Homo-oligomer: A and B are copies of this chain.
Amino acid sequence: MSRLTRDDIIAGAGRRFATHGYHGTSMRDLGDDLGILGSSIYAHVGGKQELLVAVIERGAGFFAASARRAVEARLEASATLSLLVSGHIDVVLDHRSEARTYLSETSFLEPLDQARVSHARDTYEAVFVDVIARGIAEGVFDRERDAKLSAVYILSVLNTIDRWFDETGRFDKDQLSEDVYGFVTKGLIG
């Protein structure tokens, strides 16, 4: 039991915020999880709101990095979308706490932080919109589909995966990615 680092505190805060919500978490709850007193947390961070910012910033960073990797692979539209899907799934499953807090607690940030995070989210979404629009332009995706709406639908599916997917179940992450990609490209009819 050595001393905790600032990163440990942020990780602990992420776990609590993801499961109990920002307002459902007290500094004493958080201290209990970490094996210290609530008041001791102030030796590491300025306050509760600063913890929320740090957790959400981490979450946003993972998604941004995934989008960057997908785009920099410079593949055709459908392959890029496939990378975006599997990358997003990796983030929500490998960084559950940060991703869930980013997705669910952003409205509890102070206005300036919230605006910055919203902008990051728009930028990320735009990567999906652009690749879908490219696919439509190239004729691989249906010209009847709207790129923006389709991106929102796909992100809705991806952002909910951590809520139901059990990694110890019959499917693994790769099978899930493939199934999601198959669903969003071919639909129920196939």
- A interface with B by C-beta (< 8 Å): 19-24, 81, 104, 107-108, 132, 135, 140-146, 149-150, 152-153, 156-157, 159-161, 164, 179-180, 182-190
Contacts and interface: CB of A to CB of B under 8 A. Distances in A.
A104 B159 CA distance: 14
Contacts of A161: 156
Interface of A is mostly: helix
A15 to B, nearest CB: 14
Contacts of A24: 21-23, 108
Most buried by B among A140, A161, A164: A164
Contacts of A182: 144-145
Contact of A156 (B140, B141, B156, B179): B156
A142 B23 contact: no
Contacts of A107: 19
A159 B157 CA distance: 10
A21 B152 CA distance: 23
B188 A150 contact: yes
A29 to B, nearest CB: 11
A9 B174 CA distance: 47
Nearest to A104: B104
Nearest to A132: B188
A106 to B, nearest CB: 11
